[in-house]
Structure 1
Amino acid sequence: MSSLVFFFVPAVIFVGLVLPLWLVLHYISKWRSAKGLSGEDKQALETALAEVDHLEDRLRTLETILDADHPNWRDEQAVK
């Protein structure tokens, strides 16, 4: 009987206290590490933002050309 208690009590303590605490702390650390963007995600975001800036520049250039060639083009678009 004493050998059964010798193994049973530490097992109950481990399963009741140590294991849940271990699991909670493990998943908290996983959550904190996954909280931010990965390096690949950051690179993709920066590439997309650079492309947006490039397209905005092109749009401004096209509007400048249209303003020079057809000064009232904005009014004509609003009427249609």
Structure 2
Amino acid sequence: MEDVFAIVAIFIALPWIVLHYITKWKTSASITTDDEVLLEELYNLAKRLDDRMDTVERLVASDNPEFRPARLVHNSEADNQQLRELEQMMAEKKGAL
């Protein structure tokens, strides 16, 4: 009886466990479509919040001339370059689909 148990453990149970965790490892290494949707929603939210911050800073700067936030002083090119690159990558991805 012990011999049968040992053979079953070596030839059936052990490969099943190894293959099970290999497939788990491969599937968890990629982003799911739900994750992509969530990332896109978070990106859109971050973009809206950035626009709102710009608006609030402009309003405060117009009321108080001494207020000069770094976002308005240096504005745009360096601040928005990463956002433009991300938007371009998202557009290319949507074009590929």
Is the pair's TM-score, using the shorter chain for normalization, greater than 0.5? Answer: yes
Larger RCO (CA under 8 A, 6+ residues apart): 2
- The letter for the 2-side match of 1:53 is K
Choose which of 1, 6, 20 in structure 2 pairs with 1:26.
20
Residue aligning to 2:94: none
Q: Which of these two proteins has the greater Rg computed from alpha carbons?
A: 1
Matched, 1:55 2:21: no
Partners of 2:55 and 2:11 lie apart in 1 by 67
Letter in structure 1 aligned against 2:16: W
- 1:78 is aligned to none
Query: Residue in 1 aligned with 2:34?
Result: 40
Identical counterparts, % of pairs:
30
1:25-62 Cα distance to aligned partner (Å, 9 max, x none): 12211222022332112211210121111111111122
The secondary structure found in structure 2 opposite 1:37 is coil
- TM-score, normalisation: structure 1: 0.62
Task: Say whether 1:68 aligns with 2:62.
Answer: yes
> Which whole-Å CA distance do the structure 2 matches of 1:12 and 1:59 have between them?
66
Q: Where does structure 1 differ by over 6 angstroms across 4 or more consecutive aligned residues? A: 8-11
Aligned residues, how many?
68
Q: CA deviation at 1:12?
A: 4.1
